[in-house]
Structures are given as C-alpha cells and as structure tokens.
Structure 1
Amino acid sequence: MNSSPAPAAPASVPYGTPDAPRIAVRGEAHLEADPEIARIGVTVSARGTDRRTALDDLTRRNAAALELIKSYGQAVEKLETGAFSLSPELTRHGRGERVRAYHGRVHLTAELTDFTALGELATRLADLELTRVDGPWWSLRPDSPVHRTARQQAVREAVQRAREYAEALDTTLTALVELADVGAEDARPVPFAPAPAMRSMAYGAAAPEEAAPLDLEPERQHVYARVNARFTMAPPRL
C-alpha cells in the first residue's frame, strides 16, 4: 500500500497577505552618557651600551611605575603588563655585527574608575624617567545599563513607528512577527573599525619639580541601538 505524501508546509509570505498585511520598520536610539572607565597606556623605556645595565634600568623603572600605579588603590580597577622587549641596536658601518646599544621597553595598561585621581596619576607617571603615557581612553563598561536603555528605546521606537503606519490606514497592529538587531542575520563579517588613537601626554626624563596634575575632562560616550521589527495588522479598508 502506498501512503500518500504528507502535505507540504505552506510557504512563508515575506510581505504578508491581504488578510494579514505585514509592516516592517526600523527602530533606532542614540544616547549620550558620561564614561565609566578611563584607560591609560604607560611605556617604560631604557637604553644602555651594556645589555645587563639596560635590563637593570628597565626593571627599576618598571617597578617604580607599578608601585606608583598600585599606590592609588581602589581607584585603579585593572593593571596589566603587555609587551616586553629588549633588543640590540647594531652599528650601521664596519664589518661584522657590532652592538651599539640595547633598547628595552615595557608596556603597561591601567584602567581607572576614579577620574579625580586620573589626572594626578597620569601627570606623576609622565614625570618618571624615560616614561611615556598615552591616553586617556574613555569608555563604558560592556554591561553598562546605558546599553540596555538604548536597546529598549530602539524597540519602543519601532513599535511606535509601526503603530503610526497602522493608524494612517485606520487600523491596528495585531501581532509581532519578528524583532532582530540590525545585522543579526547577516552572515558577512563585521568590518574592522580601528580603535581611536590615544593621545601622547609626555615622554622624557623626570622634571626637577613635581608637575601640577592635569585637568582632564571626561569625553561623553555615544551609544547607538538599531532593531528591525515586523508586525501584522488588521486588514485596512482602502
């Protein structure tokens, strides 16, 4: 006995039907907020004609920078050591490979939540011997409630826009069919956006007197949220 094939599932209609017209809208939100984190980059350098001397100087200066950053306690939320390098500089003339000098560098990154201490710490770091300070780089936390507020506002705008379209046709919305972040269903990779460059604050030997703290004004953060939404509505009388 041959069994009859199962009935095929009805194909989805992307633009709705006369009995259930579909509305597609986009909701957007743009918020401004004060930053929650400030990040600075610190590069400690050393140079010497002898490898051991250059390494000892680099170790001493790195320890001084770390001690200064840690002295600010809870104002510093995160402290990390990045790249370390000690490389020879060869002479450009003469036969053979002769070392002219050794260059050493250590890169540190510090994140602060106390912006009052930020200017003072950055100035004192920049006042250290052969130490460079880059920054500050302002940002929000990844789990900041500002992001949630922006997403919710974008959804409310999408609903409001769809209602206005329905009201223009003298009808009402009946159901939400789809809600998605813009680009959530796009398989293409997101293009890389280079991070904004940090500003160089200082580089050189220690000053004879302690410098006055820098007055740093936090940079306002811009948060964007975009959603695509599709609704069905009651058939309008045209």
Structure 2
Amino acid sequence: MMENPWPVVELRQYTLRPGTRDVMIELFDRELVETQEEVGIRVVAQFRDESNPDRFVWMRAFPDIPARTASLTAFYVDGAVWREHAPAARATMLDTDNALLLRPATADSAFDLSGQRPPAGAHELPKSRALATIYYPGCAPEDFTEFFDRRVRPALGVTPIGCYRTDPTPNDFTRLPVRTETVFAWFALFPDADARAAALDALEESREWTERILPELRERSCAPAEQLLLAPTARSLLR
C-alpha cells in the first residue's frame, strides 16, 4: 500500500456575510490555491454548501502537524499573499472557527488526491456533488471506527471516498482555532445532484437503515449527526 503523503486534513466551514459567498469563492479560487500549495499545503476541495447560501466549506491537507505549523506560519504570518488579500477575504467572513483537524480513520481510508485540478481561470462548475456526514461518537474512536466499517458502511449503498476521525494532536497554530470534540466524518462523491438525492432517498426507504443502523448509531453517538450537501467550485480538486 502506498503511503499517504497528506494524512492531516482540515475541514473548515465558514459562515459568510449574506450575499458574499461568490465573492469569497472567486477570490479563493483565483488567489489562494496555488499560493497555499507553494508553502507546502495541499488544497483538497472548495464547496458551496447547498443547504446554506452563506456557508463556504473547504479542506486542505498537510504531511504532519509540524509541517502544518510551518506552512500556516509561512502563509498567514510571513506571506505577502495573505497580507495583500486578507482584507477582501475578511470582509466576507462572519465566523471561521468551525474547523476540524482530522486524520484517516484507517490505513486505507484517505482521499485519493492524485487528480488534476482545473487550471487558474477556470469557471465551469462541475455537475458532480459531494456529501459529508459527521458523527459525534460517544465511545472510543477505535470502537466507533470498527462499528462504522462493520455495520454502517455496508448499509450506505455508496462507497465513501474518505473516512476520517479527529486528530487529537494539540493545535499549535493558535491563530486558527480548531474544534476539540471527537468526530468521525465520511465523504462521498456523486455524478450529479439527482444521484445524490437518489442515494439519500434509498437510505430513508431502507428498513435495515431506519430500523437497525440508525438506532445503533444513536446509541453510540453523543450528538446528532451533521450532513453537508456540497457543490464543488470550479477549481476544487475533489469533484
């Protein structure tokens, strides 16, 4: 098995000022992708949250926690690009603290990041859609991961492209807070919105899911699951 070069992932959900999401995405896709990657960050995905017109969701990855600290310092503290564009980005933002620091749940559950990102200047939106589901385990992370693989995954009807759980390593880049609760998150991609809707409808209609799996999930969770319906931007790597 090939070693995953990007095991540390941030899942970031930004609440933006009403009507500014397209402004933020245009700025991000134009100015903040390659410039982050130049300092050792892998920009994984950018999404519009289709359930909330004022939410921008994105992910980035790092080789390890020390590399994360060094790259974030290079970009946010020492870098001229963020200094130049921060005022315009911040003008769109209301809350940027909803961030999770994650690691692959198992040795083979990381994203495949070998694809090609559309080039700078690309504006065509893909038809594909993503789904992110976040669970809040009330048991040990290892036990929840085993339960997910044994009971939940076979009942989903879709194949996750990635399964992650909280990285417990302390966040030593305190300028960017991360949430500290324990989570388990799985992600799926679909060719279009209709395919995603059909998959969700099939789950709702499945007696195995509604009568067996969901009660077991609730027993093992300390908070309701969170579901994100996501549309990739024109330059998202995951699409």
| TM-score, length-scaled by structure 1 | 0.30
Structure with greater helix percent = 2
Structure with the largest fraction of strand? 1
Q: Which structure ranks higher in relative contact order (CA pairs < 8 Å, sequence separation ≥ 6)? A: 1
Question: Radius of gyration: which is bigger?
Answer: 1
TM-score normalised by length of structure 2: 0.30
